[in-house]
């Protein structure tokens, strides 16, 4: 439980604190005075470090936030941090992201997403952490129907990124059988919004427009994605954190369950007087034509989830970008 002001302080670790979802979760958690939030991140150069440092700078303005530059491969330093802090709950959002990037740099996914994840789990076991939440991905479902995808749907990993996320789920489930820790996996679907990654659709298009460069639109724009606004995703994670989940290990889809064609997103951006040249191309080897999830399972646990209309979400993202384009 991390909201009740009458309760004693909760020590919370968030790995990947300078990342998209990790930062957004930190931002919400530090608003509660009873939360002592510790963030770690290796601040790698997958996308501009300037953007990551700006996030950490904002978080450090809060008295109940501490940051440590740490890699999940640094086992001794991580052990010292766990020993000193005595965490109540851990959220693992540190990972090498990007499906397309995994075709070019597979080693970084093995190191961060598999070896690093295993290091964290060993510390969860050693220090008997009460709750552990970790980021998985909708990519574990691959490209096979039927849709929408349920948590028990057949899985079909198509690249090293999705394989690394599935391995996380398998390793975590194995650990859960030996521990008293509750372990929850979160399959995120196409999260978008403020402070997002530059390699993701909306910011990628905005940056192409800024540079007046060509934007490559694969599969001729006929992709369907389950776009889920960042504030909604964080709301669900926080509510899951204080909910009674019957199982020691479980998996939840984090999604709006509303498939949207990619060209619809671009049209909203165009309506805000931002345009650039678009070159339509066939389906990229790293892509799937369609993916969207069934969110009924998480709705049974978390009541009254309100999802942001994607038009408002895109408008908010563009508005934020205009104020912060100097970071890119």
Give catalytic residue positions. Answer: 161
Cβ contacts of residue 6 below 8 Å, gap of 6+? none
Torsion of CA 142, 145, 150, 156, to 10 degrees: -30
Residue 139 is encoded by which pair of tokens? 């990519």
For residues 239 and 304, the answer to whether their CB atoms sit within 8 Å is: no
* Closest alpha carbon to 155 in 317, 46, 291, 306: 291
What is the spatial distance between Cα 153 and Cα 151, in angstroms, rounded to a whole number? 6
- Give the residue among 285, 16, 293 at the shortest CA–CA distance from 140: 293
Tell me which residue has tokens 């991140």.
41
Residue 54: how many other CB atoms lie within 10 Å = 17
Query: Contact, 226 vs 138, CB < 8 A?
Result: yes
């Amino acid at each position: 439980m991390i909201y009740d002001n009458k309760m004693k302080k909760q020590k919370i670790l968030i790995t990947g604190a300078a990342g998209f979802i990790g930062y957004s979760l930190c931002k919400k958690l530090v608003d509660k005075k009873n939360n002592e939030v510790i963030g770690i991140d290796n601040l790698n150069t997958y996308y501009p470090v300037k953007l990551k440092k700006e996030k950490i700078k904002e978080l450090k303005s809060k008295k109940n936030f501490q940051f440590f530059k740490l890699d999940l491969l640094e086992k001794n330093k991580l052990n010292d941090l766990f020993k000193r802090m005595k965490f109540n709950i851990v959220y693992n959002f540190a990972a090498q992201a990007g499906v397309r990037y995994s075709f070019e740099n597979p080693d970084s996914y093995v190191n961060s997403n598999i070896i690093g994840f295993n290091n964290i789990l060993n510390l969860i076991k050693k220090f008997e952490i009460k709750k552990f939440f970790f980021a998985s991905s909708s990519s574990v479902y691959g490209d096979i129907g039927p849709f929408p995808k349920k948590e028990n749907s057949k899985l079909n990993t198509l690249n090293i990124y999705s394989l690394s996320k599935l391995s996380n789920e398998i390793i975590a489930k194995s650990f859960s059988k030996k521990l008293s820790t509750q372990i929850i996996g979160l399959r995120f679907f196409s999260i978008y919004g403020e402070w997002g990654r530059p390699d993701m659709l909306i910011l990628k298009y905005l940056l192409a427009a800024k540079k007046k460069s060509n934007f490559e639109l694969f599969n001729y724009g006929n992709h369907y994605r389950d776009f889920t606004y960042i504030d909604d995703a964080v709301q669900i994670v926080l509510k899951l954190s204080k909910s009674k989940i019957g199982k020691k290990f479980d998996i939840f889809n984090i999604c709006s369950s509303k498939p949207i064609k990619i060209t619809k997103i671009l049209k909203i951006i165009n309506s805000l007087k931002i345009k650039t040249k678009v070159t339509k191309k066939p389906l990229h080897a790293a892509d799937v034509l369609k993916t969207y999830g069934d969110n009924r399972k998480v709705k049974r646990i978390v009541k009254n989830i309100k999802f942001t209309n994607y038009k408002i979400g895109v408008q908010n993202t563009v508005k934020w970008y205009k104020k912060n384009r100097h970071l890119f």
